[in-house]
């Protein structure tokens, strides 16, 4: 099954909770969150737009996911107001067992690059961001868990 088709069943508006593992305080910050999953270009892609908050300030993000049936590769383009500023993180990945996983490295000066992984599942809608340091240690960064509104 095309993984975009699996996420298309999540099309619509979702309500939930976003938990940010705050690097400034070392504590999780939980806020209400919304997500809207929208098939794009006749279902070739799915876009998930989401909102959340950080220390009382509204935040938002978007993840556009595609799948190439010939190569089996998943692509993801992620933007958000808190982590990415005005940049896009273009990721590649795989799909299986109802989950899409995309990843990409990013600069972490003055040391070697770190990694970022995004896992998305449709039932229930869950978006998990994991930070991966240069040694390969994985730390949960953000998790949004949603139910139908």
Asked whether residue 123 carries a pLDDT value surpassing 90, the answer given is: no
Q: Which pair of tokens denotes residue 22?
A: 């705050």
Instruction: Give residue-wise pLDDT tens across range 30-54.
Output: 999 999 999 999 999 999 999 999 9
Backbone angles phi, psi at 57, to 5 degrees: -105, 135
What pLDDT score was predicted for residue 40? 96
**Ramachandran area for residue 42 (φ above 0: left; ψ -120 to 50: alpha; else beta):** left
Every domain of the chain and the residues it spans: 1-9+67-137
What pLDDT score was predicted for residue 5? 84
* Mean pLDDT (the chain, rounded): 93
Using CA atoms in the order 32, 115, 1, 122, what is the torsion angle rounded to 10 degrees? -10
Q: pLDDT confidence of 75, banded at 50, 70, 90?
A: very high
What pLDDT score was predicted for residue 98? 79
Q: Which residue has the higher pLDDT, 26 or 50?
A: 50
Q: Which of 20, 10, 58, 3 is closest to 144 using CA atoms?
A: 20
Asked whether residue 129 carries a pLDDT value surpassing 70, the answer given is: yes
What pLDDT score was predicted for residue 62? 97
Instruction: Give residue-wise pLDDT tens across range 76-112.
Output: 999 999 988 899 999 999 998 878 999 999 999 999 9
What pLDDT score was predicted for residue 1? 67
* pTM for the model: 0.93
Q: Which residue has the higher pLDDT, 4 or 46?
A: 46
């Amino acid at each position: 099954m095309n993984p975009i088709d699996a996420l298309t069943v999540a099309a619509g508006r979702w309500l939930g909770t976003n938990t940010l593992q705050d690097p400034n305080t070392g504590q999780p910050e939980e806020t209400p969150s919304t997500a809207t999953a929208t098939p794009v270009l006749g279902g070739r892609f799915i876009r998930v737009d989401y909102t959340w908050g950080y220390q009382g300030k509204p935040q938002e993000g978007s993840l556009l996911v595609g799948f190439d049936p010939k190569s089996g590769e998943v692509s993801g383009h992620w933007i958000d107001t808190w982590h990415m500023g005005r940049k896009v993180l273009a990721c590649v990945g795989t799909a299986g067992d109802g989950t899409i996983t995309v990843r990409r490295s990013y600069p972490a000066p003055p040391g070697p690059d770190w990694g970022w992984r995004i896992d998305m599942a449709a039932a229930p809608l869950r978006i998990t961001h994991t930070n991966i340091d240069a040694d390969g240690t994985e730390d949960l960064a953000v998790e949004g868990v949603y139910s139908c509104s």
